[in-house]
């Protein structure tokens, strides 16, 4: 059984190898959810995620014989980079098995830490099976991403730091994933402050832990931006801890993850990945759980692709009414485009894109179709722009 003493010992082992990341209040998020919110910014770790805590502790526990043999792990992301980095710091040979679909940037970053990267399998499960086989054949030490006591103790140091900085928290919110971080933080938080509420978070497409806690068969799958917590197989060690101590497991929709990424970027000036924003997504989805309370939220990772971040921010602008896509049916005669541009400009809108189709899309040879992308201040301003056009043109928001 992992105890607070184990987590405190882990904190001593990883000191100087893992950053003690800041915990900062966020006015923007507090205002959005009606709670006093503190963000634990663990996406500021060197490899961009909390995974360094567990990897640093687990590798520090290796015996001399195990260090000589080397380590192996399977991961498509943050765990791979964490193991590779801390193996390099200790002078230990590391082999990382990654699925063939792993983005090239993650493969390159992992290899840059001196690890041998093996691309195998179409799925993470196939890669994992191959990693286990390689571990047996080469006599390597397998470093599990979450079903390992050394990993769990290391991850629990996040809660140690958070509660040292803000001991008056009423609750903490932690992404669930395979359960290692959640279990470690549960042990630390409930030992330091009995009675504190601890919530785990999953995304709807991958609610494996929620299903297991409810006694149902696990059924997960589908696209999600929160790939860091898109886990089918929950670790048995963390699950045993979670089922006995967790206050509740909150399941959030995909849209809430996107909204949380946008709120963190614009409001908290913090760029995070989907899984890293899961805690804030829980606050947005279940504000009544946290209203009026002081809540610590783990921001667990910042490794988001720039293109995905751009798309998420644009989608949020559309939802908020700050970006309008207008479809207009217009008469095909001189001066119409200038008139439309004038009406939008006089209303304070900013045209950022125009598509004019006059040959094939229109219902009549005397008509044309126009699509205009317009920037507005907010939804009320957007409605005013549309109202300025409607007396003259047929307008549809798309």
pLDDT for 384 equals 95
| Domain end point (choices 142, 172, 200) | 142
Q: Quick check: 165 and 157 in contact, CB under 8 A?
A: no
Same domain? For 158 and 285 the reply is: yes
Q: How far apart are CA 347 and CA 341, in angstroms?
A: 10
pTM above 0.85, yes or no: yes
pLDDT averaged per 10 residues in sequence order, the chain, 398 residues: 97 97 98 98 97 98 97 91 97 94 84 95 86 96 96 98 98 97 98 97 97 95 90 94 96 98 97 97 98 98 92 92 91 89 95 78 68 94 95 90
Same domain? For 76 and 185 the reply is: no
Same domain? For 200 and 281 the reply is: yes
Same domain? For 208 and 303 the reply is: yes
pLDDT for 53 equals 98
Instruction: Look up the CATH number of the domain holding residue 268.
Output: 3.40.50.1100
| Domain end point (choices 249, 280, 314) | 314
pLDDT for 218 equals 94
Same domain? For 22 and 164 the reply is: yes
Sheet of 197-203: strand order equals: 23-25, 36-41, 294-299, 171-175, 197-203, 248-252
Same domain? For 111 and 181 the reply is: no
pLDDT for 102 equals 80
Q: Name residue, tokens 């040292």.
A: 164
| Domain end point (choices 259, 282, 314) | 314
pLDDT for 10 equals 98
Q: Count Cβ atoms below 10 Å from residue 90 Cβ, excluding itself.
A: 15
Q: Quick check: 300 and 42 in contact, CB under 8 A?
A: yes
User: In total, how many domains does the chain have?
Assistant: 3
User: In terms of residue numbers, what domain contains 107?
Assistant: 53-142
Same domain? For 237 and 296 the reply is: yes
Same domain? For 191 and 290 the reply is: yes
Instruction: Look up the CATH number of the domain holding residue 364.
Output: 3.30.70.260
């Amino acid at each position: 059984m992992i105890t607070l003493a184990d987590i405190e010992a882990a904190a001593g082992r990883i000191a100087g190898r893992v950053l003690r990341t800041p915990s900062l209040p966020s006015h923007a998020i507090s205002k959005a959810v009606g709670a006093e919110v503190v963000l634990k910014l663990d996406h500021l770790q060197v490899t961009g995620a909390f995974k360094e805590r567990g990897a640093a502790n687990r590798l520090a526990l290796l015996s001399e014989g195990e260090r000589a043999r080397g380590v192996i792990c399977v991961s498509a992301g943050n765990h791979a980079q964490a193991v590779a980095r801390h193996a390099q710091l200790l002078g230990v040979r590391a082999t990382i098995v990654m699925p063939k679909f792993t983005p090239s940037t993650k493969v390159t970053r992992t290899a840059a830490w001196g690890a041998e990267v093996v691309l195998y399998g179409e799925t993470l499960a196939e890669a994992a099976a191959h990693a286990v086989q390689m571990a047996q054949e080469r006599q390597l030490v397998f470093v599990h991403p979450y079903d390992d006591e050394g990993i769990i103790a290391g991850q629990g140091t996040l809660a140690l730091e958070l509660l040292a900085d803000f001991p008056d928290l009423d609750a903490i919110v932690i992404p669930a994933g395979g359960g290692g971080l959640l279990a470690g933080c549960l042990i630390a938080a409930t030992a330091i402050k009995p009675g504190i509420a601890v919530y785990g978070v999953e995304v709807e497409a991958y609610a494996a832990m929620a299903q297991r806690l409810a006694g149902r068969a696990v059924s997960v799958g589908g696209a999600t931006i929160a790939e860091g917590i898109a886990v089918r197989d929950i670790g048995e060690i963390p699950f045993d801890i979670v089922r006995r101590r967790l206050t509740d497991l909150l399941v959030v929709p995909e849209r809430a993850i996107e909204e949380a990424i946008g709120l963190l970027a614009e409001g908290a000036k913090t760029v995070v990945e989907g899984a890293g924003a899961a805690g804030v997504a829980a606050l947005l989805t279940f504000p009544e759980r946290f209203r009026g309370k002081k809540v610590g939220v783990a921001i667990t990772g910042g490794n988001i692709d720039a293109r995905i971040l751009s798309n998420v921010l644009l989608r949020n602008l559309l939802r908020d009414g700050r970006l309008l896509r207008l479809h207009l049916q217009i008469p095909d005669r001189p001066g119409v485009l200038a008139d439309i541009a004038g009406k939008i400009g006089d209303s304070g809108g900013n045209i950022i894109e125009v598509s004019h189709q006059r040959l094939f899309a229109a219902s009549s040879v005397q008509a044309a179709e126009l699509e205009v992308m317009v920037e507005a201040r907010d939804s009320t301003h957007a409605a005013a722009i549309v109202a300025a056009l409607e007396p003259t043109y047929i307008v549809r928001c798309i």
